[in-house]
Amino acid sequence: MNTLNSILAANLSPTDYVGFTFFVGAMAMAAAAVFFFIERGNVEGKWKTSMLVSGIITFIAAVHYYYMREFWIENQYSPTALRYIDWTLTVPLMCVEFYLILKAFGAKTALMWKMIFYSVWMLVAGYLGETVFRSSSAVWGAISTIGYLGIVYEIWMGSAKKLADGSNDPILQNAFRSLGWFVLVGWAIYPIGYMAIETDGLLRGVLPLASMDLIYNIGDAVNKIGFGLVIYGLAIASKSRSAAAGV
């Protein structure tokens, strides 16, 4: 394995910026996972599960990026299947985080399963449009967007939003709003990328395919690590407030 890694590293061109971001992404995700697992011991009990999930998300991503970087260097082609496998595992877990932080304020498991359903819907339809049914990718892209919009609705206008507003907790509300922006803005790069590579997409030919892998890699790191850091900040702020109150 060390020999293989040496060969792969040697084959990484100094101008291969996409390959560079695969390497950086793998290490950044791994470092984040270690951080979240260690810091899990420094937060209050109710936040330990959230920190564990954040660590699992970045750990899964780190493993997939390890294999995606090898695939890219060997083939100079987007690792679509590996990327969707990663998303299918990590995106639903990111949706679970919303349920976990709202659980103390009345969130039911129905909210969690609804968010998971929307995320799986979005990803399965997107994968089918990019691989199996490329000739009708626009249709599958529209179907996928329904799932994305369902998640956005729940966070910004639906039951999750109402629970956050009803918590009367400014720390939670600020963190929830930050996570909402990750979904609304950060996750928007994925449908944009889909439209750039699909057969008859609105952005077909506008963006080079290699550029989309570069954007995906940076976006994945920012979204997944940033998501976890917001959860961590919320956990630490809650701990500090409890200590100040003498709880």
- Counted residue by residue, the chain has a size of 247
* Single-letter amino acid, residue 73: I
- Which tens digit of pLDDT belongs to each residue from 63-102? 999 999 989 988 888 898 999 999 999 999 999 999 999 9
Q: What is the residue whose two structure tokens read 């952005």?
A: 203
Ranges of the chain with pLDDT below 70: 1-10, 197-210, 242-247
CA-nearest of 125, 49, 130 to 93 is 49
Structure tokens at 200: 């008859």
Q: Cα–Cα distance between 87 and 65 in angstroms, integer? A: 11
**Predicted local confidence at residue 201, as pLDDT:** 58
**Predicted local confidence at residue 239, as pLDDT:** 81
**Predicted local confidence at residue 23, as pLDDT:** 92
Question: b/e string for 153-189 if b means 16 or more Cβ within 10 A?
Answer: ebbeebbbbebbeebebeebeebbebbbebbeebbeb
Q: Cα–Cα distance between 194 and 206 in angstroms, integer? A: 12
**Predicted local confidence at residue 170, as pLDDT:** 87
Domain carrying residue 155: 2-245
**Predicted local confidence at residue 124, as pLDDT:** 95
Q: What is the residue whose two structure tokens read 């709880």?
A: 247
> In the chain, what is the straight-line distance between the N-terminal and C-terminal CA atoms, in Å?
51
| Tally of structural domains, the chain | 1
Structure tokens at 229: 């850091």
Which are the contacts of 183, defined by CB distance < 8 A and separation ≥ 6? 151, 152, 155
- CATH number for 6: 1.20.1070.10
